[in-house]
């Protein structure tokens, strides 16, 4: 863009200087021209005007063309910035929706020695506690139909769908790469400290979840229905680390 502007400036200056030079030089050259040739143009003033006017018009056309092109480029830049601002606004709204869903998650946990008391928990801690306790709810972790009847499971799946939509939006949004990196990092932070397994808190430790005896997969207390979606979300982060 800067190179084009510099070339345009040089062109404009060259045309203007050339036009001014011709308008100054032509009157000086007129007296040395053959008188018979001058008679064909009428008076010297008319001859000068007939020569200078086309030159001035050419200069005007060049300036008009440059001005129109600059205007079009300015409009293009403005439209692109508006598109970027809309993209950032949509991302912010989706992230706010994700936060609200996490904060509104509630779970009544049985506490005490005999598990007779109930304590209401909210937000990210409630999600963690729900996942920790889901294995003790007498539900087959591999039975997706029964799992979907649990309110907590449906809410967590809704949160994961929103998160996946946000990550897809980040990848396809027409925004600056720094803005994409910011939202990816903040999404990774939110998911790691609220829903992702504890093994993801320290990837260098190479920790693994418990092996499931039924399916022989390392998904620990996570139902495969939820665990598989978590793995797909992790692929978003791994993919962008490789780029």
Tens-place pLDDT, residues 21-31: 766 666 666 56
pLDDT for residue 123 is more than 80: yes
pLDDT band at 208 (very low <50, low <70, confident <90, very high): confident
The band of 2, judged by pLDDT with boundaries at 50, 70 and 90, is very low
Model confidence at 97, pLDDT cuts 50, 70, 90, reads very high
Within its chain, how far is the Cα of 77 from the centroid?
A: 16
Strand partners, 119: 109
- Residue 8: the pLDDT is 61
Long-range contacts: 12-17, Cβ < 8 Å, 24+?
A: 12/62, 12/63, 12/66, 15/58, 15/59, 15/62, 15/63, 16/59, 16/63
Q: Does position 35 have pLDDT exceeding 80, yes or no?
A: no
């Amino acid at each position: 863009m800067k190179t084009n502007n510099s070339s345009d400036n040089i062109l404009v200056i060259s045309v203007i200087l050339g036009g001014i030079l011709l308008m100054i030089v032509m009157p000086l050259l007129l007296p040395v021209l053959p008188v018979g040739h001058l008679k064909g143009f009428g008076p010297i003033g008319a001859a000068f005007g007939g020569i200078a006017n086309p030159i001035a018009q050419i200069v005007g056309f060049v300036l008009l063309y440059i001005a129109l092109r600059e205007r079009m480029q300015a409009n293009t830049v403005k439209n692109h910035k508006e598109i970027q601002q809309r993209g950032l606004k949509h991302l912010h709204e989706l992230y706010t929706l994700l936060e609200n869903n996490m904060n509104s998650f509630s779970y009544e946990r049985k506490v005490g020695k005999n598990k007779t008391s109930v304590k209401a928990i909210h937000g990210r801690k409630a999600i963690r506690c729900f996942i920790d306790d889901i294995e003790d709810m007498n539900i087959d972790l591999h039975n997706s139909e029964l799992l979907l009847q649990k309110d907590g499971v449906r809410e967590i799946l809704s949160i994961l769908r929103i998160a996946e939509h946000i990550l897809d939006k980040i990848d396809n949004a027409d925004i600056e790469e720094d803005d994409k990196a910011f939202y990816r990092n903040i999404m990774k932070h939110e998911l790691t400290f609220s829903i992702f397994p504890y093994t993801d808190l320290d990837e260098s430790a190479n920790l693994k979840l418990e092996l499931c005896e039924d399916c022989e997969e390392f998904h620990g207390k996570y139902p495969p229905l939820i665990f598989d979606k978590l793995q797909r979300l992790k692929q978003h982060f791994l993919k962008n680390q490789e780029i």
